Structure 1
């Protein structure tokens, strides 16, 4: 609790100095514990604290309580999902579907169940829930049971800690201060990770804010990655030379031990 107040105190001071809002009666002000992650040889994951407060021009309205949703989305890419089937005793790829876009990482934390705090219309508009984030347009024409492929993708990436759904994990104090902790796994992809924060009432989004976390390789990992992608021929030659040297060193070592 002390940590939360220590982090949100600057937000509260900033809110007091902000000019009066001219639009919505409630607006969101947010912050991140860090906006950059460096992937090194000993990187085993990290924790991102996302916190914020609500700026008001009037007392909280009567009726539905305030709700908060926080999402963290990694770089998206198209995918081809294939299903293996046993034919004549051999497992081979059979049916396949193409996913237009699927995030490499996606975490969502909320103050309550989606069915209670988010309307289907706003879910479609802002693409908040995991089924809406995965773009699977037109896959029904590729396979009769195409929804099973999407469910398989979700299951696989959840097992890999790439997708997380944390219902009720956003802490909200007096409908003003909130925080959410998001775990980033060790198998992150490079890129800009988009953090979206929503405040809602009655299932409707009343304000939102976007932040970004830069994830980059650092040190030797970055140098090897850049070399492999920018000069693949040189990278291949160096890899072959290192493999040949390792084989020669192992052989020489065994000959020495036999003497």
Structure 2
């Protein structure tokens, strides 16, 4: 039997041999990639950004001496990314909104030199309180149709007209005029508040803002919504609740008046009559 030369042995080897040899030789190079766990892959740059937030207090007590308070909304952007120039690409809009209440908007007109209520527009629901805080003007954050869809900003607040035929015939232009009038009145009362540049980023992903609750804030639940935007796109919304409750003697008086309005009316009449009689007696004695 003759001796087979190495060149001939190499020529006789099938292609699969070379593939297996290459894999055995190069497999250590793939070890770092094989050790990546699913959790690490989830935390990669492709993970979806979201917002997590909280409120400094979930319950506010309203007493007869209540003069207003402040709540702090704070949070963080999870899986935050940075731009190539290390700029923060996110916008955060915080909206705190009260429950919807019915309202009647009356229009005064000058009739023969006297002012009379000549028109009344009925709303079945408008927010009893509305506060908004942003890190920059809304028109630079996203498009108007997105703001309108989520009720973000005074122009886009959800106000529901009543089902009366008079309200249903109101044109879109006039509806907006009435909404602007309500916002103007509510802002004058301190119940609609806007704080541009009130939302501040602390570090690359942390943020905070403060919301002022005036002394005349209506009792009831408040809904806090934290909207996260990037390049005009709404990425995520975090929702939380704040409860405003009456406390002290005011709470008992309110509950009594709500449960027994007839007896409460009689009680107030006796109180007023007694106060008047007492004052009259006091001054008559001192005059004599």
Query: What are the within-5 Å matches in structure 2 for residues 179-258 of structure 1?
Result: 179-258=208-287
User: What RMSD over aligned residues (CA atoms) do the two structures have, in Å?
Assistant: 2.4
Match of 2:170 in 1: 142
**Number of corresponding residues:** 239
SS state at 1:181 partner: strand
CA drift of 1:71 comes to 0.6
What is the TM-score of this pair, normalised by structure 1?
0.84
CA drift of 1:179 comes to 0.3
Match of 1:55 in 2: 78
Using the alignment, how far apart are the partners of 2:185 and 2:81 within structure 1?
45
CA drift of 1:175 comes to 3.5
Change (3 A) 1:148 1:98: same
CA drift of 1:230 comes to 0.9
Match of 2:149 in 1: 125
Structure 2: which 5+ runs fail to align?
Answer: 1-41
SS state at 2:284 partner: helix
Residue in structure 1 matching 2:50, options 15, 27, 35: 27
Residues 99 and 134 of structure 1 are in contact (CA less than 8 Å); yes or no, is this contact kept in structure 2?
A: no
Using the alignment, how far apart are the partners of 1:205 and 1:34 within structure 2?
26
CA drift of 1:254 comes to 1.6
Using the alignment, how far apart are the partners of 2:170 and 2:81 within structure 1?
53
Residues 97 and 142 of structure 1 are in contact (CA less than 8 Å); yes or no, is this contact kept in structure 2?
A: no
Which of the two has higher C-alpha Rg?
2
Using the alignment, how far apart are the partners of 2:125 and 2:231 within structure 1?
30
Residue in structure 2 matching 1:65, options 83, 89, 113: 89
SS state at 1:186 partner: coil
Change (3 A) 1:24 1:92: farther
Change (3 A) 1:252 1:190: same
CA drift of 1:107 comes to 0.5
Q: Does 2:122 correspond to 1:98?
A: yes
